Amino acid sequence: MSKQPSSYLSSKLEGRPKADGNGNGIYSLKPINKGELVAVFGGVIYEWDAFIHLPEIERSLCIQVEDRHFLVPRPIGEGDYVNHSCNPNAGLSGQIGLVAMRDIKVGEEVCFDYAMCDTMPYDEFNCGCGSPNCRGQVGGSDWQKPELQKRYAGFFAPHVQRKIDAQRTEKRAFVRAMRTKTQKYNSPISTSVYE
Ligand SMILES: [Zn+2]
């Protein structure tokens, strides 16, 4: 147990069992300012095909860092027990950094939304986060929800942000194509009146 964990957890936080007995969580011991670094994930990188055969505990504690690459903590440390919440107070900074999205008070559990990094169906579950805006089910395609894209702007992992950008470009191209088509159909009237 003397081995240093692969992840970093700010000294302002500690990992401990949740009060409801439902696993472990990360709690603040001191106030944390918006933008402050709270954790950096570490470990070993696996490609999807090997990753899906790992034990469930390793899969559930990992973080997706690229389209098909996963960071698995070894050895596991307190910083790897950051839970999901549909109303998170932390978000990703780059591939492996976790920062406060707002000021965090002493005693609050620090959580992020797995939609910020997940695009694959490896850790889907019924959410019991208890927040008023809980979406009930957490899955690998949640990043596509427009309300989440808006709420977590600036806090998605780079590989997810690339997907969001590509989706927006595609949508804009579609709208442009539809507009051109409509203009073509309407052109006999509009051109004769306005030209
Ligand atoms: Zn939830």
> Element (H or E) spanning 169, and its range?
helix 158-194
Question: Is 165 among the domain residues?
Answer: yes
pTM of the model: 0.88
- Ligand 1 centre distance from Cα of residue 18 (Å): 16
Question: Is 2 among the domain residues?
Answer: no
Question: Is 170 among the domain residues?
Answer: yes
Q: How many CB atoms lie within 10 A of CB 40?
A: 17
Token pair 């903590």 in the structure block, residue: 73
How many residues appear in the chain?
A: 195
Question: Is 1 among the domain residues?
Answer: no
Question: Is 164 among the domain residues?
Answer: yes
- Ligand 1 centre distance from Cα of residue 86 (Å): 4
- Give the integer Cα–Cα distance in Å for 74 and 43: 5
Question: Is 25 among the domain residues?
Answer: yes
Question: Measured in whole angstroms, how far is the alpha carbon of residue 14 from the centre of its chain?
Answer: 21
Question: Is 3 among the domain residues?
Answer: no
Average pLDDT across each block of 10 residues of the chain; the chain has 195 residues. List them in order.
87 92 93 98 97 92 96 94 96 98 98 97 91 96 97 98 95 89 67 45
- Ligand 1 centre distance from Cα of residue 134 (Å): 4
188: domain CATH number is 2.170.270.10
Residue range of the domain that includes 22:
8-194
- Paired residues of 40 in beta bridges: 8, 97
What is the count of structural domains for the chain? Answer: 1
